[in-house]
Structure 1
Amino acid sequence: MPQVIISAKNLTQKVELPHQTLTILNEINLDICSGEQVAITGRSGSGKSTLLGILATLDRASAGELWLCGQAVHELNEEQRAKLRLQSVGFIFQSFQLLSHLSALENVLLPLRLQKKFNYATASAKAHTMLERVGLSAQIEQMPKVLSGGEQQRVAIARALISEPQIIYADEPTGNLDRQTAKEIEQLLFDLNQEMGVTLVVVTHDLNLAAQCQKHYQLQEGQLVAALKNKERVE
């Protein structure tokens, strides 16, 4: 049986406003197994990125329980959560979030620098290999400002994978890219999911990308609704 790697139980997120309480997420229940590809779609403002941030331990829910890689996230303090993120989670942002004063190689090295046993030679070799894997062997020393949008996203993907996480969360990973480049990035994510066995959770407006995932949920009025399951990839 596939192992459940992410388990959300009655996750709720509320925001207190001056004259009302706004419910963004309403008792969400979700199980994701190791190695799965899962897409979450929904209209703008539906809470997709909020949910992703909570699942990635970047934010805390107002109520509910979250289990990640066997750990009860809702019982951890911030230091413990940060350690779990460093060990088990990679995050890909729509806006890439590369540091402009660092080269592609240096950006990819960042997560490894946070580890206690950091060895530059070993880490650099690993970063070179990862950048080559995402097709950037010729751009290793280049700065983000001279890279195209697709190349910057490839650097971001390499950075997310350098620590060999069990889960990759991607927030609109193709949202700032042209259609052809977006298709290349989508294929790269699916290839890496298959080759490395990493679990892939994607928030997207792109229904074509969502349809290629093994599971597709829509976020409607604070709740998840299963949209597509086990659908074959579309070319």
Structure 2
Amino acid sequence: MAQFDSSTSIMPQVIISAQQLTQSIQVQQKTLTIFENLNLNIYAGEHVAITGRSGSGKSTLLGILATLDQASSGQLWIHGEAVHDLNEEQRAAIRLKHIGFVFQSFQLLPSLTALENVMLPARLQADFNYKSAEIKALDLLQKVGLSKQSQQTPKVLSGGEQQRVAIARALMSEPKIIFADEPTGNLDGDTAKEIEQLLFSLNRELGTTLVLVTHDPQLAAQCQRHFELKNGQLFETVKQQIEAEAKL
């Protein structure tokens, strides 16, 4: 359901559109269908949760939406570009231009400082400039509350601090979409809540679209929309639709 702004009569922009997505794999000469004919539209600037039991395929779906993997069949558009028609090199360009990632396991390079880890996406840009990238990375570290830890390596940072570095890194290329796969799964309760609030506050401040996979029903309930992947089908929780509309 689109979120309609009645004050301006402008429908929000669809930034991710998935149509008839099906993912199947071969297991011992048999075809296992993980999900089939999924349809999903996600709108610019909103935050969306995808939940489901372990093994339901939610991380697989996230990987396809993030262009890390390809569906067996179906169509996917990211910011108006037909990803299903692109090769791997072209999909990588889409990721570099439009997408940031936050993972459960942080995936920081242990030999690099927090600052150097945050700067990594900028190094992939054709117009990379060290000084401007450094300034931008320091600003992002300040936004996530780690300006004093910029020269520390991951091994001396707490789990919550490492995830903050990962969030700053995800924002380095100014992506339109942040995909987060169990972003609080490796954190204790209090730290998890801090990371959740940080993700939502940055979503509001920077206008990025946030799509997250989580086992945590409380985290999912904070999102504007909540989808559950169950028995190979995607169901939107009506309660979240009503609550999201009530906030407009």
Matched, 1:186 2:196: yes
Fraction of identical pairs, as percent = 67
**Equivalent residue letter for 1:130:** L
Could you tell me how far 1:230 is from its partner in structure 2?
4.7
Q: What residue is the counterpart of 2:116 in the other structure?
A: 106
In the alignment, which residue of structure 2 is the partner of 1:229? 241
Distance 1:94 1:2 in 2: 30
Which residue number in structure 1 is paired with residue 51 of structure 2? Answer: 41
Q: CA deviation at 1:17?
A: 1.7
Shift of 1:16: 1.1
What are the equivalent positions in structure 2 for 1:142-153 lying under 5 Å apart? 142-153=152-163
Provide, for residues 78-101 of structure 1, a one-character-per-residue CA deviation record: whole Å limited to 9, x for no partner: 111000100000010000000000
Q: Deviations over 1:141-170 (max 9, x none)?
A: 000000000000000000000110000000
Does structure 2 conserve the Cα–Cα contact (< 8 Å) formed by 1:215 and 1:230?
no
Aligned residues: 233
Supply the RMSD in Å over aligned alpha carbons: 1.1
d(CA) in 2 for partners of 1:10, 1:206: 27
* Contact 1:12 1:25 (8 Å CA) reproduced: yes
**How far is the alpha carbon of 1:61 from its aligned partner?**
0.3
- The answer for the alignment partner of 1:129 in structure 2 is 139
Could you list the runs of 4 or more consecutive aligned residues of structure 1 that deviate by over 6 angstroms after TM superposition? none
Q: CA deviation at 1:231?
A: 2.8
Q: Which runs of 5+ in 2 are unaligned?
A: 1-10
Q: Is the 8 A contact 1:212 1:231 kept in 2?
A: no
Q: 1:118 to 1:230 in 2, by over 3 A?
A: farther
AA at the equivalent of 2:103: F
Q: Is the Cα–Cα contact under 8 Å of residues 213 and 230 in structure 1 kept in the other structure?
A: no
> Structure 1, residues 2-48: CA drift from partner, whole Å, max 9, x if none?
00000000000000122321001111100000001100000000001
Instruction: Supply the distance in 2 between the matched residues of 1:10 and 1:27 (Cα, whole angstroms).
Output: 4
What CA distance in whole angstroms lies between the structure 2 residues aligned with 1:83 and 1:187? 30
- The 2-side partners of 1:22 and 1:176 are apart by 30
Unaligned runs of 5+ residues in structure 1 are: none
